[in-house]
């Protein structure tokens, strides 16, 4: 277990609904993915993570699963899945599935049984509770706790059939599974083993640090201006979380001969917790997705935009690098299907600097220690979308939060829209831009979410032809990780922690040291670092503009130097 293969790997996330539509219904599908595997093989990624493709009412775009062991007809069928898996393996890549087991769909047969009566054997597979003491079931405010749900409204839904409430931390169509019940855990492990036996190479585990809850379910604190309490202290990294993940590891992963990958998505995970989750000796998960750096520009008021402070971003990522330096492992990401596009968020998506700032952001991320994740379209420098009104959004989170903020909390629709435009998840979900044709080569039909009009400029066909594109720069970053051990194993040292303009660090492995500097501004900036002269004379491995003189970086330039000491 000294140096697992995934230390050297780069993962590419596909959001199937928005990747490629082979049958013209306006939604991506498995055959569409199969047709584009060479795009990924040429990029050089090692692993594909597939967001959910299971049967689902699609309330939360597939994160509400009604059958864990099949494929939604919208995406294809199991035969098409096996074909895709074979195509991935034939190209020397691996494929990991999304595991969504904090909750199921309310249309899953388990939940149908559970809600059918109080004495159904599966009643206890979900979190059922009576109304608050002394209150009329179903009356306003009678919910068992004051918690709000992630997508607006209360976290409890009243079910008149049995007069009780069920817990849903996300939408009312995503009831939380009760992991206290050993039958639930058993059913999940059986399902996971079924997929591994089919040949998949691991799992990305959705909000997996929410599965253990404080069973007393206390009320949470209420922030000013917010309609509901925050229950997260009762379910983020709950009391039995390490026990459950270790049990899962034993029952599913331990002793399998394949090279597998597990990554736990963990909003609110701390460095100390992550050390435990990713300590190989504990047998829990290989790595976690932490959220600190994507919450860097959030503040006290959820409906206000806070600008990026580069010093904060560096402090956060620097702490994670240091925290997992000796044991455990980081995952590295700017983007996924829940985050706005990074070039619009931390870079400059204007025509002048879009390509260069996207490349700089890629260089800074990929040169950290950890396993980088590329989200579809990031390798093209895809940008946020020009949403005009709330009617342009499709995401249940955007729509639900809009209603709560405007109708219940009295926010101005314009303020809420301003934040949704900048931060909304649909920014990541506009269709993949393959070419300059009317729907960007994504579909011959009507796309479920409008294609970004900039696809006439920003698309894969153009990027692959242009040696200076974001695509080819990402290809070089990925190749560099595969070739240079210092990228994988080098010790990380942050430089210039107080500088608001430059992100600079070194990576040292044996006698090799890499220097990485990214200019996070539209101005030329000189890097004031120790032994600048020596670095100036060192080998420039990669940059996205002319080689600097005197370490003066052009707007949004990134440089990666290498020195070998003898
Ligand atoms: O997301 C978990 C999560 O915490 C989200 O609430 C996310 O942080 C937020 O939407 C950002 O604005 C996972 C999935 O990635 C997401 O797509 C699902 O909607 C969610 O779980 C429920 O399954």
Residue with tokens 């202290």: 233
Cα-to-centroid distance, 207 and ligand 1 (Å): 7
Ligand 1 centroid to Cα of residue 338, in Å, is 6
pLDDT exceeds cutoff 90 at 2: no
Closest residue CA from atom 9 of ligand 1: 338
CA torsion, points 388, 392, 395, 396, in degrees to nearest 10?
100
Task: Give Rg (Cα) of the chain.
Answer: 24
Residue 337 CA to ligand 1 center (angstroms) comes to 9
* Share of residues in the chain with pLDDT > 90 (%): 98
For ligand 1, residues with CB inside 6 Å are 60, 63, 100, 150, 170, 206-207, 265, 267, 337-338, 397, 425
If you ran DSSP here, which 8-state letter would residue 282 be given? G
> In this predicted model, what pLDDT tens digit does every residue of 135-148 receive, in sequence order?
999 999 999 999 99
The bridge status of strand 202-205 relative to strand 94-99 is parallel
Residue to mutate, 206, 230, 399, 400, ligand 1, most ligand atoms under 8 Å from C-beta: 206
Task: Report the helix count and the strand count for the chain, using DSSP H and E.
Answer: 17, 18
**CA 80 to ligand 1 center in whole angstroms:** 27
pTM: 0.98
Whether residue 206 lies in the annotated active site: yes
**From atom 2 of ligand 1, which residue's Cα is the shortest distance away?**
207
**Which residue has a Cα nearest atom 16 of ligand 1?**
338
Residue 250 DSSP code: I
Residue 465 Cα, ligand 1 centroid: separation in angstroms?
35
What is the chain's mean pLDDT, rounded? 97
pLDDT digits (tens, 9 = 90+) for 412-452: 999 999 999 999 999 999 999 999 999 999 999 999 999 99
Average of per-residue pLDDT across 229-234: 98
Question: Does 415 participate in catalysis according to the annotation?
Answer: no
Nearest CA to ligand 1 atom 10: 338
> Best of 170, 175, 400 to mutate for ligand 1, by most ligand atoms within 8 A of CB?
170
Is the Cα dihedral 317, 319, 320, 324 positive or negative?
positive
The residue annotated as part of the active site, out of 206, 349, 378, 484, is 206
**Residues 487-543: pLDDT tens digits?**
999 999 999 999 999 999 999 999 999 999 999 999 999 999 999 989 988 999 999
Residue 178: predicted pLDDT: 99
Name the strand (E) or helix (H) holding 14.
Answer: strand 11-14
Nearest CA to ligand 1 atom 20: 63
In order of 178, 464, 557, 558, the CA distances from 550 in angstroms are 60, 33, 14, 14
Q: What is the pLDDT of residues 375-395, one digit of tens each?
A: 999 999 999 999 999 999 999
In whole angstroms, give the CA distance from residue 221 to residue 232: 10
The band of 132, judged by pLDDT with boundaries at 50, 70 and 90, is very high
């Amino acid at each position: 277990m000294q140096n697992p293969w995934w230390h050297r790997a780069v993962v590419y996330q596909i959001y199937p609904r928005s990747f490629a539509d082979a049958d013209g219904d306006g939604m991506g599908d498995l055959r569409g993915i199969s047709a584009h595997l060479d795009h990924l093989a040429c990029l050089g990624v090692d692993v594909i993570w597939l967001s959910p493709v299971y049967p689902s009412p699609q309330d939360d775009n597939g994160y509400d699963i009604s059958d864990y062991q099949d494929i939604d007809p919208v995406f294809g069928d199991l035969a098409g899945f096996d074909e895709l898996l074979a195509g991935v393996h034939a190209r020397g890549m691996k494929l990991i599935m999304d595991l969504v087991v904090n909750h199921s769909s309310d249309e899953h047969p388990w939940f149908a049984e559970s809600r059918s009566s109080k004495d159904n054997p599966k009643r206890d597979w979900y979190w059922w509770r009576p109304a608050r003491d002394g209150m009329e079931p179903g009356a306003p405010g009678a919910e068992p706790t004051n918690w709000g749900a992630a997508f607006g409204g209360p976290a409890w839904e009243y079910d008149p059939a049995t007069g009780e409430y069920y817990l849903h931390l996300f939408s009312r169509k995503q009831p939380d599974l009760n992991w206290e019940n050993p039958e639930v855990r058993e059913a999940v492990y059986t399902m996971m083993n079924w997929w591994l036996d089919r040949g998949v190479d691991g799992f990305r585990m959705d909000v997996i640090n929410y599965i253990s809850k404080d069973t007393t379910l206390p009320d949470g604190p209420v922030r000013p201006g917010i309609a509901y309490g925050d229950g997260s202290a009762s379910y983020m990294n709950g009391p039995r979380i390490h026990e459950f993940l270790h049990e899962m590891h034993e029952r599913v992963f331990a002793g399998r001969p394949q090279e597998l990958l597990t990554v736990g998505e963990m909003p609110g995970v701390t460095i100390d917790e992550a050390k435990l989750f990713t300590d190989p000796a504990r047998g829990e998960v290989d790595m976690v997705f932490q959220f600190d750096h994507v919450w860097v520009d959030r503040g006290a008021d959820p409906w206000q935009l806070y600008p990026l402070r580069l010093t904060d971003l560096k402090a956060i990522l620097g702490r994670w690098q240091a925290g997992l330096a000796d044991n455990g492992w980081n995952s590295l990401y700017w983007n996924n299907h829940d985050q706005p596009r990074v070039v619009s968020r931390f870079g400059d998506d204007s025509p002048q600097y879009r390509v260069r700032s996207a490349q700089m952001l890629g260089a800074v991320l990929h040169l950290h220690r950890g396993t980088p994740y590329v989200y579809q379209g990031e390798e093209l420098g895809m940008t946020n979308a020009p949403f005009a009104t709330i009617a342009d959004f499709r995401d249940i989170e955007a729509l639900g939060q809009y209603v709560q903020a405007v109708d219940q909390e009295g926010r101005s629709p314009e303020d809420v829209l301003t934040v949704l435009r900048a931060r909304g998840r649909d920014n990541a979900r506009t269709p993949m831009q393959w070419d300059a044709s009317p729907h960007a080569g994504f579909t011959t039909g009507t796309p479920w979410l409008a294609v970004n009009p900039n696809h006439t400029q920003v698309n894969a066909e153009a990027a692959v032809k242009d040696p200076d594109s974001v695509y080819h720069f990402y290809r070089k970053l990925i190749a560099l990780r595969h070739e240079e051990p210092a990228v994988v194993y080098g010790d990380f040292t942050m430089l210039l922690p107080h500088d608001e303009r430059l992100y600079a660090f070194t990576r040292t492995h044996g006698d090799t040291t890499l220097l990485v500097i990214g200019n996070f501004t539209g101005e030329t900036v000189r890097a004031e670092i120790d032994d600048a002269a020596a670095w100036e004379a060192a080998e420039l491995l990669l940059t996205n503009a002319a080689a600097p003189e005197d370490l003066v970086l052009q707007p949004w330039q990134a440089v990666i130097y290498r020195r070998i000491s003898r």
